[in-house]
């Protein structure tokens, strides 16, 4: 049986998508691929054929250096330098060295896994071989995220001090500039008869990009906007279900877990019209590119029942496409292919040693 060791510190910081993605992948491995692979977590000295690095810890980088000819290294790509620009407000010198390190980390891997195909060309632009980049989408478990009854939905709204019967729009994610939180609030001001709720907080505290401006919004929101702060993952299914629409006006994204989680709850999705979504979500969501466009789409979803039902069906269809069965089969094929790479590495090492011996 092929042994795979997962290396990750993703769950140390609450309320961020990397941790959610890691949890879901471990659910996938343990529930669907447990009979195909031997899985361990954070066991660097385990004799695993494949070492899968889910986070870019410095200790992971150095560990990878020690296993070059003993295992195949796989790195999950959750961000690039350009996607970090609107996430963390770091000093320029810190950014310079971190970005250099990030690309060096990715280049040290035998394979890189991206959850959005648009990242392939961006990684190539950093000098990374296209042949080592694999696209495998995220997924979420239907056991953890599912549609609740109308009565349960109302109970959740009561729990969070919301009107049981008002049309409700939900935003999910860290409070950062790139998440479009300001436009979320501006849209809410144009729709005073709709209640807006944001689940998520400052996961990285005052180094979160836009912290001062966004903190002012959180402290003094419009009457129809409620910021819930960081919500424990176990409660997030209820949060999605309290909404009528999931609205994510991000300027920059990779593949937010919040979208998949919403689809799994059969909640219609409204997103900013940016270039990453058509390739991965075509037909499953509504799009707009301005506050006025967001307002008009939400109004239509609220007042046009035929359109609303159509987008509910689109969410259901999107959830089917990103099912555990489909995604687990992709991972199974990839890990088996990666295992073959180990044989090539060992063969090349033997050849090098033989040539050294002849010198």
pLDDT digits (tens, 9 = 90+) for 144-203: 899 999 999 999 999 999 999 999 999 999 888 889 999 999 999 999 999 999 999 887
328 and 317 in a common domain: no
Is 145 inside any structural domain?
no
Determine the pLDDT at residue 51.
Answer: 96
210 and 223 in a common domain: yes
269 and 332 in a common domain: no
297 and 210 in a common domain: yes
Is 25 inside any structural domain?
yes
Is 182 inside any structural domain?
yes
pLDDT digits (tens, 9 = 90+) for 33-57: 999 999 999 997 778 999 999 999 9
What is the C-alpha separation between 261 and 173, in angstroms, rounded? 12
Determine the pLDDT at residue 353.
Answer: 36
CA distances, 241 to each of 57, 152, 156, 264, 267 (Å): 35, 8, 8, 10, 8
In the block, which residue shows the tokens 């935003």? 171
Contact 4, 335 (CB under 8 A): yes
190 and 277 in a common domain: yes
131 and 200 in a common domain: no
Domains of the chain: total: 2
65 and 92 in a common domain: yes
302 and 158 in a common domain: yes
Residue 307 CB neighbour total at 10 angstroms: 15
Is 170 inside any structural domain?
yes
In the block, which residue shows the tokens 């790509």? 77
317 and 330 in a common domain: no
130 and 197 in a common domain: no
Is 144 inside any structural domain?
no
270 and 183 in a common domain: yes
Question: Whole-model pTM?
Answer: 0.78
What residues contact 96, with CB distance under 8 A and at least 6 apart? none
SS3 72: strand
- The pLDDT averaged over each successive group of 10 residues in the chain (359 residues) is 93 74 91 94 85 95 90 93 72 89 96 92 95 91 92 96 97 91 97 97 74 90 95 94 97 86 96 91 94 98 98 95 88 94 64 36
What residues contact 338, with CB distance under 8 A and at least 6 apart? 50, 72, 74, 110, 111
Determine the pLDDT at residue 359.
Answer: 35
Strand partners, 7: 53
Domain range spanning residue 24? 2-139+324-358
158 and 296 in a common domain: yes
Is 159 inside any structural domain?
yes
Is 37 inside any structural domain?
yes
For the domain that residue 315 is a member of, what is the CATH number?
3.40.50.2000
């Amino acid at each position: 049986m092929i042994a795979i060791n997962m290396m990750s510190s993703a769950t140390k910081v609450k309320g961020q998508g990397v941790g959610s993605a890691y949890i879901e992948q471990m659910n996938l491995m343990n529930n669907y691929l447990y009979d195909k692979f031997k899985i361990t977590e954070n066991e660097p000295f385990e004799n695993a054929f494949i070492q899968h690095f889910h986070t870019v810890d410095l200790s992971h980088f150095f560990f990878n250096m020690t296993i070059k000819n003993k295992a195949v290294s796989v790195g999950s790509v959750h961000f690039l330098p350009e996607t970090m620009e609107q996430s963390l407000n770091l000093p320029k010198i810190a950014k310079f060295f971190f970005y250099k390190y990030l690309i060096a980390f990715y280049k040290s891997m035998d394979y890189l896994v991206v959850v959005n195909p648009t990242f392939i060309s961006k990684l190539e632009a950093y000098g990374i071989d296209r042949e080592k980049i694999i696209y495998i989408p995220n997924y979420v478990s239907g056991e953890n995220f599912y549609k609740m009854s109308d009565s349960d939905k109302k109970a959740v709204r009561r729990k969070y001090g919301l009107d049981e019967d008002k049309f409700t729009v939900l935003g999910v994610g860290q409070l950062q500039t790139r998440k479009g939180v300001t436009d979320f609030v501006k849209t809410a001001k144009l729709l005073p008869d709709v209640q807006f709720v944001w689940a998520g907080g400052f996961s990285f505290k005052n180094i979160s990009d836009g912290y001062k401006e966004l903190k002012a919004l959180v402290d003094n929101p419009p009457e129809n906007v409620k910021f819930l702060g960081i919500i424990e993952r176990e409660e997030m299914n209820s949060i999605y279900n309290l909404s009528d629409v999931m609205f994510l006006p991000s300027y920059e994204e990779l593949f937010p877990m919040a979208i998949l989680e919403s689809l799994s709850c059969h909640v219609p999705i409204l997103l900013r019209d940016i270039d990453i979504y058509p390739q991965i979500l075509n037909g499953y969501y509504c799009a707009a590119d301005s506050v006025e466009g967001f307002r008009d789409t939400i109004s239509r979803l609220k007042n046009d029942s035929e359109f609303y039902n159509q987008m509910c069906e689109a969410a259901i269809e999107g959830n089917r496409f990103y099912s555990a069965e489909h995604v687990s089969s992709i991972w199974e094929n990839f890990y088996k292919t990666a295992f073959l790479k180990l044989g090539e590495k060992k063969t090349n090492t033997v050849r090098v040693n033989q040539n050294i011996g002849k010198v």
